[in-house]
Structure 1
Amino acid sequence: MIKLIVGTKGTGKTKAMIEAINAVTKTTTGNVVVLEKSMKLTYDIDHAARLIDLDEYHITGYNMMYGFVAGVLAGNYDITELFVDGILKVGDHDLNGLGKFLDDVQAIAGENVNVTITISAALETLPEDVKKYL
């Protein structure tokens, strides 16, 4: 299942995601993984969550990000929660390609992994293939 946290810069998306991460680390029986560009969340999230810096792996574009997500999920079948902060930074702010990326991630995550993604954009600018995940 994919959940989107959408809003323009400064609307509290990352704060909402941090709260969700910290809440789920206390209740999940599986593993929590957080993917972000740079390590801004290092001191904000519970140590039980695995934080991965996408810059460290030179992830650029939705295709490379999909491959990385697939690898993370394939490498650990115990992941129940996956968080991605700032997906548009990875996808070079391409709103049109975001829908296909979300469809692909949904297909590999299935019903066993909850995926939460922040999108820094106004709700009305999102294409319909992205809005279906709201």
Structure 2
Amino acid sequence: MISLLIGSKGTGKTKRIIKLANEELKKAKGNIIFVDDDKRHMYDLKHKLRFISMDEYPVKNEDEFFGFLCGIISNDYDINKIFIDGLLKVMDTTLDAMPKLIEKLSAMSTKYEIDFFMTISCTKDQIHEDLHKYLVQV
């Protein structure tokens, strides 16, 4: 399952994804990964979540980021949820590249039974129409 939480900068997307990740930990049957662009929110998350700060890795675009996620998944078969805060900030990319990346993540989600929950700073009018089916209200 792919879920996208979108909204303008400063609308509380990060607080909502952190709250959701912490709540999911209580009922999780597998491991949960939380990916962020820096360590700013690391201490807001429960310690059992696997926190990854992308500022420690030389990932530059969506293909490298997808490969990075494949590496994480190949190392831990018990992952069942991956939260990504600020999808455009964890790599150097644009909204135009998102449909291709989300399509690849959707295939990975189905194959490995991993739910992806991501935030993107944009409005519904700015995001590609193909991605509207993944938009959620939290």
The reply to whether TM is greater than 0.5 is: yes
Counterpart residue number, 2:39: 39
Matched residue SS, 1:39: coil
Distance 1:129 1:92 in 2: 21
Give, in angstroms, the shift of residue 10 of structure 1: 0.7
Counterpart residue number, 2:20: 20
Counterpart residue number, 1:132: 133
Distance 1:81 1:6 in 2: 18
Counterpart residue number, 1:119: 120
Q: Which moved more, 1:86-95 or 1:49-58?
A: 86-95
Q: How does 1:1-134 map to 2 (within 5 A)?
A: 1-110=1-110, 112-134=113-135
Give, in angstroms, the shift of residue 57 of structure 1: 1.1
Q: Which moved more, 1:89-98 or 1:99-108?
A: 89-98
Runs (4+) of structure 1 moved beyond 6 Å? Answer: none
Report the RMSD for the aligned CA atoms in angstroms.
1.2
Distance 1:61 1:133 in 2: 21
Matched residue SS, 1:83: strand
Question: When the two structures are aligned, how many residues end up with a matched partner?
Answer: 134
Note if contact 1:61-1:91 (Cα within 8 Å) is conserved in structure 2: yes
Note if contact 1:34-1:82 (Cα within 8 Å) is conserved in structure 2: yes
Q: Which runs of 5+ in 1 are unaligned?
A: none
Distance 2:91 2:58 in 1: 12
Matched residue SS, 1:119: strand
Q: Which runs of 5+ in 2 are unaligned?
A: none
